[in-house]
Structure 1
């Protein structure tokens, strides 16, 4: 795990996973994803592999572009290696799967409207 540059334009579409090492959520994982309207989504969860699911501390919130680097720095996030990112996300959060379904559905709908527009 290490530090990374937080650039909205080059941030992975599926976000990045890191471990929080300072503050209220110390020891929890962070999934940080770019959102619309100049904001970032923070998804936070303790490791579900270490205790009962109904007792896990979890949270999520959105922050503005200008606040996000400071929040990540205050959390002292240690980012997972990209080779471990997908496996960690599936084990800790498992929400990317739903994101992928929505993207496929939205793409199919846009394609349908485009093809209908070409026939009219």
Structure 2
């Protein structure tokens, strides 16, 4: 988690997450605590291992302290919360179609 200080997204937050196939997910959002939710500028895109460092440098990201990372992510993006809901939902769906006595 960090704050973008340069370029098109200056002032927005960046959540950078490693993805599969040698790529990184860039999740970008303005601070939802300071504006109307339906007017927030947000974006997301994926970049290769080769391009990610250059993009982070161009955005001049100032990284949040590790101790504030999880709370800040929850307040700005809540992607981890969404992932948790999806895992629970998938687990429930699997349990509905499981044969009696079958385990995951």
Query: Does the residue aligned with 1:87 lie in a helix, a strand or coil?
Result: helix
| Equivalent position of 2:44 in the other structure | 60
Report the TM-score when normalising by structure 2.
Answer: 0.82
> What residue ranges of structure 1 are gaps of 5+ in the alignment?
1-16
Between the aligned partners of 1:68 and 1:76, the Cα distance in structure 2 is: 12
Pairwise CA RMSD: 1.9
Report the TM-score when normalising by structure 1.
Answer: 0.71
CA deviation after TM superposition for structure 1 residue 37, in Å: 0.5
| Equivalent position of 2:15 in the other structure | 31
Between the aligned partners of 2:85 and 2:77, the Cα distance in structure 1 is: 16
How many residues are treated as equivalent by the alignment? 95
Between the aligned partners of 1:42 and 1:103, the Cα distance in structure 2 is: 22
Between the aligned partners of 2:68 and 2:12, the Cα distance in structure 1 is: 16
| Misfit runs of 4+, over 3 Å | 100-106
